[in-house]
């Protein structure tokens, strides 16, 4: 079942999303036919993950075009609706890139936009498979013969992509080759993407795993219980600085101290050459209630960044669908 997970798909008249806010308790789909519903789904993380957001953004242009036709919008209103989709989450560069990819085809009609969006989806699935193979090859060439213990943070599996996964694509490939002992899945605060989503995907695939608190990850690494950490990315600056879900930086620091690889697995589209360093990556701050509700005293205030940035010097390798770049060694520039 896990290999067939499709977080984003076109049904013929709607954009169908797996509603990731109700997993793992139940599997429900949202059929999106208007841009307000799509923007809401993106912002409340019903659909999430940089590659999946890119595909959703591309199909979102078609959703807006069909909505404009039904409601007889003027061109300015259509443009405004597309802009709202494009900017619904600022950190993941793929969302805007997916919208931008299909914009030039609008003059050719909705069918042309849909065809290009589907092409993007298909490319992502093929790319994820390549990332899995290349990442496993690179890791196995640098580790011993015994099955590996892998740590991952957040969810970079089929649910975060068009299918298969980036970081979890590497994990799946190691499992298929019989070289995986255990996955440590960080719970990933505040919305528990690791507990709810990564654990669900690993269970579906029959991969052994343990969920741990985010705060336990550095200790697990420094105790010698982890051979490699593999994460995804929402945006990678031109110098290799990498934005991922908050807590990734602590994992990278622990890996550096322990002397084990910290691997980022992401499609090349996640690299943003227009952003020279991580200092230029916008960091989304989410609602205080995600941290405070039900636990904090009255009047407490929250600081709730959704992402952090890992400096390039801590990124051992970046695995893309085109190859592996050894970022911290400075052997291959990204831009």
Q: Which residues are catalytic?
A: 234
Strand, coil or helix: 147: coil
Q: For residue 130, with 0-12 CB atoms within 10 Å meaning exposed, 13-18 middle and 19 or more buried, which class applies?
A: middle
Which stretch of DSSP H or E encloses residue 318? strand 317-320
Q: Where are the alpha helices (DSSP H) in 183-233?
A: 193, 199-205, 217-222
The CB density around residue 12, as the number of other CB atoms within 10 Å, is: 6
Report how far residue 294's alpha carbon sits from residue 130's, in angstroms, rounded to the nearest whole number.
43
Report how far residue 295's alpha carbon sits from residue 112's, in angstroms, rounded to the nearest whole number.
50
Report how far residue 136's alpha carbon sits from residue 121's, in angstroms, rounded to the nearest whole number.
23
């Amino acid at each position: 079942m896990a290999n067939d997970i499709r977080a984003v798909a076109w049904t013929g008249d709607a954009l169908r999303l797996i509603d990731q806010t109700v997993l793992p308790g139940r599997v429900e789909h949202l059929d999106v036919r208007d841009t307000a519903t799509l923007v809401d789904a993106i912002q409340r993380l019903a659909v999430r993950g940089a590659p999946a957001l890119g595909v959703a953004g591309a199909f979102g242009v078609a959703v807006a075009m069909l909505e404009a036709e039904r409601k007889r919008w003027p061109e300015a209103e259509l443009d405004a609706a597309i802009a709202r989709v494009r900017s619904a989450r600022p950190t993941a560069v793929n969302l805007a890139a997916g919208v931008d990819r299909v914009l030039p085809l609008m003059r050719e009609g909705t069918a042309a936009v849909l065809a290009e969006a589907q092409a993007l989806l298909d490319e992502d699935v093929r790319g994820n498979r390549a990332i899995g193979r290349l990442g496993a090859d690179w890791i196995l060439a640098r580790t011993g013969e015994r099955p590996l213990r892998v740590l991952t943070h957040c969810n970079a599996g089929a649910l975060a992509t068009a299918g298969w996964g980036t970081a979890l694509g590497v994990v799946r490939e190691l499992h298929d080759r019989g070289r995986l002992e255990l996955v440590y899945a960080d719970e990933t605060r505040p919305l528990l993407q690791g507990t709810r989503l990564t654990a669900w995907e690993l269970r579906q695939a029959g991969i052994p795993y343990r969920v741990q608190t985010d705060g336990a990850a550095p200790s697990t690494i420094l105790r010698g219980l982890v051979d490699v950490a593999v994460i995804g990315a929402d945006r990678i600056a031109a110098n290799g600085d990498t934005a991922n879900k908050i807590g990734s930086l602590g994992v990278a620091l622990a890996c550096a101290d322990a002397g084990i690889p910290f691997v980022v697995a992401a499609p090349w589209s996640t690299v943003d050459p227009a952003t020279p360093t991580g200092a230029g990556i916008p960091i989304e701050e989410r609602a205080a209630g995600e941290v405070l509700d039900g636990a904090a005293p009255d009047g407490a205030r929250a600081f709730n960044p959704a992402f952090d940035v890992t400096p390039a010097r801590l990124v051992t390798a970046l695995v893309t669908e085109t190859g592996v770049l050894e970022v911290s060694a400075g052997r291959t520039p990204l831009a």
